[in-house]
Chains A and B, each alone.
Chain A
Amino acid sequence: MHDMMHGVLGLYNYWIVIILMMTGFYTVIARPNLVKKIIGLFIFQTSVFILFISMAKIEGGTAPIISEGARIYSNPLPHVLILTAIVVSLATTALALALVIRIREAYGTIDEDDIHVQDEAA
């Protein structure tokens, strides 16, 4: 098992992360609904978080809180970066959703195709 982890399976986490990332990316570019796009962006963001945190993991390590009896700690730096990234993701999501509400009030729809039609007619 250990040898297998160092072969192809050693990159397994990253590949799943890429599949998740692409799921989010597809939702952003293929779906015209604005709320769905933001959710796609959210999936994309979360998969980037998982990518960073996976890189921080050390085999046999523990959470980076200094304590008796623990010798190997996972890397704390990506944890800090992602912790703050999550908070920033809330800021961007909130702002994007506020814009969606305003767009709905102005256009009566949150569908990108309908918005284009209205823009061209105007």
Chain B
Amino acid sequence: MEEHLINNVLLGLLMMTGFAIVRMKSLLAVTMLTSIYSLLSASLFVVLDAVDVALTEAAIGAGISTILLLATVARTTDEEKAPRHKPLLPLFVVVATGAALIYGTLDMPNYGDPMAPIHLHVAPTYLHVTPEEIGVPNVVTSVLASFRGYDTLGEVTVIFTAGAGVLALLGYRTRRRNSQDPEIRKMVVLRVITKLFFPLILLFALYVQFHGDYGPGGGFQAGVIFATGFILYALAYGLGNVQRIIPYRTLRIMMVAGVLIYIGVGIESMLLGGKFLEYRILADDPVTGQHLGIMLIELGVGITVAAVILIIYYGFVSRRH
């Protein structure tokens, strides 16, 4: 009952935020609203039992995307010009599409229905087989890293490609040490809090990385949180100082190393006589093999994600205005 109430309130807030985003002209305000929109949907994911998804959405949608949007607005313009055309045609298209989609939902099973077709095929198998065969309590992790390991390898490659793409578009420039806005230097509270939080964020990232088998988390989330720690430090102390800790060259190696670890685990299981990414062959005991395989590929995912996000951030921020 309370669940339904929270669900409906969050959906209502999402609609209000969405309408405000369309109406507002200041792109800075719209960026902040987008961050709120993402945080609201992360909260909704918790209510809907998708804790892993919520963690990812909060870290990526509300965190990193907002920072990239802010960097873009700072490098372009904050003012949105009024459209030259009347919005009648788009409005018509949107209403017609929406009506067709709502008509389509009439055939859908009800929300929360345990007998919906989606719950009757592979999902029960994943839930039953995971405890014995994979031995990790978090079924999302076992599906992501083991049952659908090929998919996840593809995903990591997409991230890698995005990093390479942003690098090709924006290039990269090293910043001098201590090169930062003098205004930010005066913000003592921000700088002290950043120093206090920086190690805690990195520790939390490691927890999310290695506890992903047992609770919500895993390589994707941990990589993002790890990168967030360095981005926070860069915001308070300047990009130049962070580049001394993690130079661009290291990031480039990390970005490739993560993908290679993932593929390496697959090749290793082939060399041991199994199929590509067949983890149970990695150790004498199949469940131990699964544990080892999942831990290694999650590590690869984490390294690549963290490196790509930092490379993207370096690219956006080091570009001249």
Q: Which residues does A use to contact B, with CB under 8 Å?
A: 1, 5-6, 10-16, 18-27, 29-33, 35-36, 38-40, 42-43, 46, 49-50, 53-67, 72-80, 82-84, 86-95, 97-102, 104, 109-111, 113-114
Query: Does more than half of chain B's interface fall in helix, strand or loop, or is it mixed?
Result: helix
Given contacts A54-B111, A58-B113, A98-B315, 5 further A-B contacts (CB under 8 A): A31-B80, A50-B14, A65-B215, A77-B126, A101-B72
Q: How far is the CB of B16 from chain A (nearest CB, A)?
A: 11
B169 and A29 contact, CB distance less than 8 A: no
Mask, B113-150, CB within 8 Å of A = 1, is 11010110011001100110000011110011000100
Point out the residue from A79, A104, A113 that lies within 8 Å of B76, measured CB to CB: A104
For A22, give the chain B residue with the smallest CB separation: B98
Question: In the complex, A94→B163 CA distance in Å?
Answer: 9
A27 and B53 contact, CB distance less than 8 A: no
Chain B residues with CB below 8 A from A86, complex form = 53, 56-57, 60-61
B165 and A97 contact, CB distance less than 8 A: no
B251 lies within 8 A of chain A by Cβ? no
Chain A residues with CB below 8 A from B152, complex form = 84
Question: In the complex, A20→B40 CA distance in Å?
Answer: 13
How many residues from B make CB contacts under 8 Å with A? 99
**Segment with Cβ contacts to A, from B89-97, B190-198, B274-282:** B89-97
Q: How far is the CB of B160 from chain A (nearest CB, A)?
A: 9
For A117, give the chain B residue with the smallest CB separation: B84
For A31, give the chain B residue with the smallest CB separation: B83
A64-B139, A94-B68 known; A87+B159 contact, CB < 8 A? yes
A5-B111, A79-B140, A110-B77 known; A55+B68 contact, CB < 8 A? no
Question: In the complex, A41→B98 CA distance in Å?
Answer: 16
A35-B76, A84-B155, A89-B60 known; A50+B44 contact, CB < 8 A? yes
Q: Report which residue of A19, A58, A84 has the largest number of chain B beta carbons within 10 angstroms of its beta carbon.
A: A84
Q: How far is the CB of A5 from chain B (nearest CB, A)?
A: 7
Mask, B1-37, CB within 8 Å of A = 1, is 1001001100100110011011000010011001001
A65 and B137 contact, CB distance less than 8 A: yes
Point out the residue from A13, A30, A46 that lies within 8 Å of B87, measured CB to CB: A30
Chain A residues with CB below 8 A from B101, complex form = 18, 21-22
B41 and A49 contact, CB distance less than 8 A: yes
A56 and B49 contact, CB distance less than 8 A: yes
B50 lies within 8 A of chain A by Cβ? yes
**Segment with Cβ contacts to A, from B102-110, B179-187, B228-236, B285-293:** B102-110
A22-B98, A35-B27 known; A97+B72 contact, CB < 8 A? yes
B303 lies within 8 A of chain A by Cβ? no
A102 and B170 contact, CB distance less than 8 A: yes
